[in-house]
Amino acid sequence: MRILNLKDTHELALKASTIVKNELLKNPKLLLCAATGNSPLPLYQQLAEEFKRKTILFQQIRILTLDEWVGLSSPVGSCDSFLQEHLVNPLKISKDRYFSFNTSAENLTDECLRMQAVLKKQGPLDLCILGLGKNGHLGFNEPTAKLEPHCHIADLTHQSQQHSMIEYSMSKPTQGITLGIKDILSSKRILLLVSGTGKEEAKKQLLSGRISSEWPASILWKHKNVDCLVTPQN
């Protein structure tokens, strides 16, 4: 794992966007797995600015969502609406280049299988953008005795249910749907963004290098091509 300490989120966004652009230059049809939340938001905003300057660079990029809430009363706060607003629309990603979960599907187990098939057809993931959860989760791969390898329905911890994305949701989701740890580790390159408040313990556990399913992000030490960009807690 390549760990780079940066002074603030602006530096993080610049460095992260440089990594994304360099990967796009090597592979214009890059399959990008996109996380949501405050950690990757500065990166997506920077990419939106880059799009204005060099539109052609983003004309073939493909986006696949990392996870989604299950049981939201409205689209507000969903991972899909977040990515539509901050990544898909700004980069003018066409429908055939955007792959997301349908949590309104009648059978969510079948939806997991569908998304797994999409990943198999479109993949492997070229670059996976991740944020560090306060309890060390990756996507909705929550701390547990045994991590799930592939796309699955996850029971959310109380901490995850307090996420700022669903702060104003009428009903707090108790479940999420997410790519599994093996899916994430199958990515050719991983970009882990560590910023925000309340993550000191998760950061400490990650940077210790000790691998434990109780701190899912620590599993990334098993991958050979991870960039971990860190800002001071603010």
Q: Residue 110 catalytic?
A: no
Q: Which position among 50, 126, 142, 148 bears the catalytic label?
A: 142
221-231 burial, b at 16+ Cβ within 10 Å, e below that, comes to eebeebbbbbb
Asked about 201 being catalytic, the answer comes back as no
Tell me phi and psi for residue 122, to 5 degrees.
-85, -25
The residue type at 207: L
What sign results for the dihedral spanned by CA atoms 75, 113, 59, 181? positive
Q: Cα–Cα distance between 29 and 31 in angstroms, integer?
A: 6
CB within 8 A of 7, min separation 6: which ones? 231, 232
| Catalytic member of 86, 137, 152, 163 | 137
Look up 142 and say whether it is catalytic: yes
Residue from 23, 50, 67, 111 carrying the catalytic annotation = 67
- Chain centre to alpha carbon of residue 142: 14
Choose, from 23, 68, 111, 135, the residue flagged as catalytic. 135
Active-site residue numbers?
67, 135, 137, 142
